[in-house]
Amino acid sequence: MTQNPIIYQPSPKAQRIKFFIHYSALELREAVKKMNTSFYHPSQKLWSVVNTADNFEKLKEILGPGTIIESKKIKKTPIPRRKLGAEAEEALEKFEQCIILKGYSRNTLKNYRNELIQFFSYFDGRDYKTIRKEEIESFVAMLITKHKISNTKQNQLINAIKFYYEKVLGLPREYYDIQRPKRAKELPNVLSMREVSQLINTPQNIKHKAMLYLIYSAGLRSGELLRLRIRDIQSEQGFIFIKGGKGKKDRRTVLSQKLLTVLRDYYKKHRPAYWLFEGQDGGQYTSRSLQAVFRRAAEKAQINPWTTLHTLRHSFATHCLQNGMNLRQVQVMLGHSSLKTTEIYTHVLEVSNKVLKSPLDLMENV
């Protein structure tokens, strides 16, 4: 591996500039540490700073004239779109009617519709019932190789196609058991309890503080927080009621006493009418505003810049397991249908002699 520093040219929309410094370049590493927003990613063996033009120029100045500027941009060929024929428009209309009647979310309708427009456009003029599984897989493979679609988009496309054939046309599922990409086994990003405390206590605004407290203390998704009603906080019974979580499932989760204190202070000051957290006009607080609250808190707390709102949910689950709660209880509070989904948190439990004991330490006379 080269010992020259490498700066990876970020895309205009990238949040961070990643760069490599050889482990032996002690002076460079110390200089980089002094940069605001600098962060080291041990799994990638890379550093990063917030993506700004000033930071890019400052990096080049610090790392010196021998620095390599490397571009890792993947050129994507735009996917062509053609105007849909009458048969395709009719198929799309039947799909929309079916997905609405089955009660799928607006986002699912929008995403599936976009994927099916692409599918119908590609097979324009064909009787969709006669398209074989092998032809569909060839279509997906073309999008991967030529247009560089991601694993996420590939899965979404397959889900939309399968919905159309199985739910709209009523064909047996085994006919269209389409090959999917291998799922990446990524571990969820988790903060330490100290980092969480630092983050959720950063906001001075009591509403912002209450929202962050709630997401972490109850393991909520951001959408679940925004849909909470005042009556969902069951203080006498000691639980929070989640109405229509992911998959339209109701559930209960834990109500922290410390959270309850913060919520009471918040309620006395803001007096919400129906939704627990209201916007300026009295309706539901928006997702964009909630994201902005979190991002400001994360920056002020100077924690891992890759942290997201969902990281608080991951951290809740991991900390529950670390403190002795059993997997089934965590599954119920998170609203997971399968215990296998919850089991991923067992892989990110902290491993150290402060938490676990080696059998050697339990032996006597050694």
Q: What is the CATH number of the domain that holds 96?
A: 1.10.150.130
Instruction: Indicate whether 210 and 265 sit together in one domain.
Output: yes
Q: What is the pTM of this model?
A: 0.61
Instruction: Indicate whether 212 and 292 sit together in one domain.
Output: yes
Task: List 49's β-bridge partners, or say none.
Answer: 17
Instruction: Indicate whether 134 and 255 sit together in one domain.
Output: no
In a domain, 200, yes or no: yes
Instruction: Indicate whether 343 and 198 sit together in one domain.
Output: yes
Distance CA 115, CA 154 (A): 10
In a domain, 246, yes or no: yes
Task: Look up the domain containing 51 and give its range.
Answer: 6-71
Instruction: Indicate whether 216 and 320 sit together in one domain.
Output: yes
119 by Cβ neighbours in 10 Å (0-12 / 13-18 / 19+) ranks as buried
Instruction: Indicate whether 221 and 144 sit together in one domain.
Output: no
DSSP 64-123: -TT-EEEE-PPP-PPPP-----HHHHHHHHHHHHHHHHTT--HHHHHHHHHHHHHHHHHT
> Can you give the pLDDT at residue 359?
59
- Tokens 């591996």 correspond to 1
> Can you give the pLDDT at residue 259?
93
Report residue 220: phi and psi, to 5°.
-90, 155
Instruction: Indicate whether 48 and 166 sit together in one domain.
Output: no
Among 71, 96, 118, give the residue marking a domain's end.
Answer: 71
Residues of the chain with confidence (pLDDT) below 50:
1, 352-354
Closest CA to 113 of 51, 156, 68: 156
Report residue 171: phi and psi, to 5°.
-85, 150
Q: Which residues are catalytic?
A: 221, 246, 310, 313, 336, 345
* Two structure tokens written together for 145: 């190789």
In a domain, 362, yes or no: no
Q: How far is CA 170 from CA 143, 144, 157, 166, 177, in A?
A: 26, 28, 18, 5, 14
Instruction: Indicate whether 90 and 45 sit together in one domain.
Output: no
* Two structure tokens written together for 176: 């269209």
Please write the tens of the pLDDT for every residue from 76-123: 566 777 788 888 899 999 999 999 998 888 888 999 999 999 999 899
Closest CA to 320 of 195, 219, 201: 219
Instruction: Indicate whether 118 and 230 sit together in one domain.
Output: no
Closest CA to 228 of 265, 280, 263, 269: 263
* Two structure tokens written together for 40: 């080291």
Among 144, 176, 208, give the residue marking a domain's end.
Answer: 176
Q: How far is CA 192 from CA 196, 217, 287, 315, in A?
A: 6, 14, 25, 7
> Can you give the pLDDT at residue 72?
58
Instruction: Indicate whether 209 and 163 sit together in one domain.
Output: no
Kind of pairing, strands 233-234 and 251-254?
unpaired
Distance CA 107, CA 104 (A): 8
Please write the tens of the pLDDT for every residue from 269-280: 999 999 999 988
Instruction: Indicate whether 207 and 302 sit together in one domain.
Output: yes
CATH (domain of 303): 1.10.443.10
Distance CA 166, CA 158 (A): 12
**Cα 150 to chain center, whole Å?**
15
In a domain, 354, yes or no: no
Domains in the chain: how many in total? Answer: 3
In a domain, 281, yes or no: yes
In a domain, 167, yes or no: yes
Instruction: Indicate whether 253 and 339 sit together in one domain.
Output: yes
In a domain, 274, yes or no: yes
In a domain, 55, yes or no: yes
